[in-house]
Amino acid sequence: MMLYDCSTAPSPRRVRIFLAEKGLTLPTVQVDLRGGEQFTPAFRAMNPGCTVPVLALDSGAAISDIIAICRYIEELHPEPALMGRDAEERALIECWVRRIEWDGIYAIQEAFRNSMPGLEHRALPGPLPLEQIPALAERGRLRARHFLAWLDTRLADHAFVGGAAFTIADISAMVTVDFAARAKLDPPEHLRHLRRWHQDVSSRPSAKA
Amino acid sequence: MMLYDCSTAPSPRRVRIFLAEKGLTLPTVQVDLRGGEQFTPAFRAMNPGCTVPVLALDSGAAISDIIAICRYIEELHPEPALMGRDAEERALIECWVRRIEWDGIYAIQEAFRNSMPGLEHRALPGPLPLEQIPALAERGRLRARHFLAWLDTRLADHAFVGGAAFTIADISAMVTVDFAARAKLDPPEHLRHLRRWHQDVSSRPSAKA
């Protein structure tokens, strides 16, 4: 097994934190995203989507989606459970993760990639060069602010995003909030439930991964 | 258990086909999306994301994500397996589904929702009114054409999207191709592998669901 990673990118960080919570380490290759290594023929042969993380298996197959990688690891190493303990919990945690991705990560990505100098032709990850759309950056900022306010409401009466236990929903939300800060979308001071939770989850040793 | 559905919408169709392949029927409520029923307080109390499908459980919980609903059903009724038979297969099928969603469904949705009369303030599903961005409609069309060409290549030497067996990846891709046609993005004639596969999967009884 080999994990293709990039230590400065938010997406593979979700997998790194997941592994750290499991107490696992995997042999890892750093992919030079800034240098465009994800667009080389060798990398494309493994993941035509040109993204990290990728988990290359001994069978020759490559898992190129964050949640699919985590689910695969969860099946092999069920403890501590980070994706739910029964069918209902697993389904509900999947809903939280999807919501965090759709309303959070993709919104911040819209804001970031459609405004950042250096990403002029890279408004989406992947092999297709796409021009920035300034109105989309604006829409992303609006959506991201709504997401952060929603997350604060959710955390008003729950210790963690999924409820009483730390799960992959918290990992996803923490990475999202930290990515938001990089896009100058820090949570405002008055979102105190979000800030309490963010401090909690950021103090776990896994957060350094 | 109660399935909240809308018989004219592409998203819940993925769940309906999934159920039909399992030979299952669930008690179902039709939600009047055109009449805005998804924005009523009663519906929002169940799914603040204002989307269908939703699977309401007897516990009071509601599963509001398509794939989470399917996974829950797969756990309760494992046969026929539609999401893979072991950890590796499950991970790879999840990658195909994500790719179909990201490069296919979301691209077509960009094209459709940013250009369709009547959706002027509804450029994304969900509770937030968002204006159409014409450049995003254009980008969606470009991405959708790339997606269809990619799908054709994938199907050149595989009977089904995931390989030798019909899975949720085929359900997702079929619904995507049919949604593309509604957005006037029919697959061009020369994509003959895609057309062969589409004819195959559309002739299954479940496709009528």
The pLDDT of residue B58 is 97
Which DSSP letter does residue A30 get? E
Contact A54, A4 (CB under 8 A): yes
Query: Residue A57 to residues A187, B64, B66: CA-CA distances in angstroms?
Result: 38, 32, 28
Check if B133 contacts A (Cβ < 8 Å).
yes
Return the CATH fold of B2-76.
Glutaredoxin (3.40.30)
A61 interfaces chain B, CB cutoff of 8 Å? yes
> In this predicted structure, what is the pLDDT of residue B41?
96
Give the minimum alpha-carbon distance from A64 to chain B in angstroms, rounded to a whole number: 6
Q: What does the pLDDT read at residue A51? A: 95
Name the pTM for this structure.
Answer: 0.96
Q: What is the pLDDT of residue A184?
A: 92
Nearest to B113 by CA among B1, B18, B11: B11
Distance from CA of A106 to the nearest CA of B (A): 11
Provide the shortest C-alpha distance from residue B14 to chain A (in Å): 16
Q: Check CB contact under 8 Å for B94 and A68.
A: yes
Contact state of A92 with B61 under an 8 Å Cβ cutoff: yes
- Give the Cα separation of B141 and A62 in Å (integer): 29
User: Which of A14, A58, A94 best tests the B interface by mutation, with the highest count of B CBs <10 A?
Assistant: A94
The pLDDT score that the predictor gives to residue B113 is: 94
Distance from the Cα of residue A153 to its chain's centroid: 21
pLDDT of residue A122: 92
Please report which confidence band the pLDDT of residue B5 belongs to, taking 50, 70 and 90 as the band edges: very high
Residues of B in contact with A67 (CB under 8 A): 94, 98
Tell if the CB–CB gap between A95 and B65 is shorter than 8 Å.
Answer: yes
* pLDDT at residue A209, rounded to an integer: 92
Q: How buried is residue A60: exposed, middle or buried, by Cβ count under 10 Å (0-12/13-18/19+)?
A: exposed
- Three-state secondary structure string covering chain B: CEEEECCCCHHHHHHHHHHHHHCCCCCEEECCCCCCHHHCHHHHHHCCCCCCCEEECCCCCEECCHHHHHHHHHHHCCCCCCCCCCHHHHHHHHHHHHHHHHHHHHHHHHHHHCCCCCCCCECCCCCCCECCCHHHHHHHHHHHHHHHHHHHHHHHCCCECCECCCCHHHHHHHHHHHHHHHCCCCCCCCCHHHHHHHHHHHCCHHHHC
- Residue ranges of the domains in chain A? 2-76, 87-208
Chain B contact for A76 (CB, 8 A cutoff): yes
- Say how far residue B42 (Cα) sits from the centre of its chain: 24
From A92, A130, A142, residue closest to B63, measured CB to CB? A92
- Tell me if B2-76 shares its fold with B87-208: no
Summarize pLDDT for B196-208 with one digit per residue, the tens.
999 999 999 999 9
Inter-chain CB proximity A68 and B92 less than 8 Å: yes
User: Which residues of chain A lie closer than 8 angstroms to B72, CB-CB?
Assistant: 87-88, 90-91
A54: helix, strand or coil: strand
User: Given its phi and psi angles, is residue A163 left (phi above 0), alpha (psi -120 to 50 degrees) or beta?
Assistant: left
Does B75 contact A at CB distance below 8 Å? Answer: yes
Contact A135 B130 (CB under 8 A): no
Chain A neighbours among B 153-192 (CB < 8 Å)? none
B87-208 CATH fold: Glutathione S-transferase Yfyf (Class Pi); Chain A, domain 2 (1.20.1050)
| pLDDT tens digits, B117-158 | 999 999 999 999 999 999 999 999 999 999 999 999 999 999
Per-residue pLDDT of chain A (209 residues; tens, 9 = 90+): 999 999 999 999 999 999 999 999 999 999 999 999 999 999 999 999 999 999 999 999 999 999 999 999 999 999 999 999 999 999 999 999 999 999 999 999 999 999 999 999 999 999 999 999 999 999 999 999 999 999 999 999 999 999 999 999 999 999 999 999 999 999 999 999 999 999 999 999 999 99
pLDDT digits (tens, 9 = 90+) for B32-81: 999 999 999 999 999 999 999 999 999 999 999 999 999 999 999 999 99
Spatial separation of the C-alpha atoms in residues B49 and B55, rounded to whole Å: 13
Please give the pLDDT value at position A115: 94
CB contact under 8 Å between B94 and A75, yes or no, is no
Which of A64, A98, A103 is facing B95, going by the closest CB pair? A64
Q: What is the pLDDT of residue B89?
A: 98
Chosen from B57, B102, B146 to mutate, greatest number of chain A CBs within 10 A: B102
Please give the residue of chain A at the shortest CA–CA distance from B66.
A95
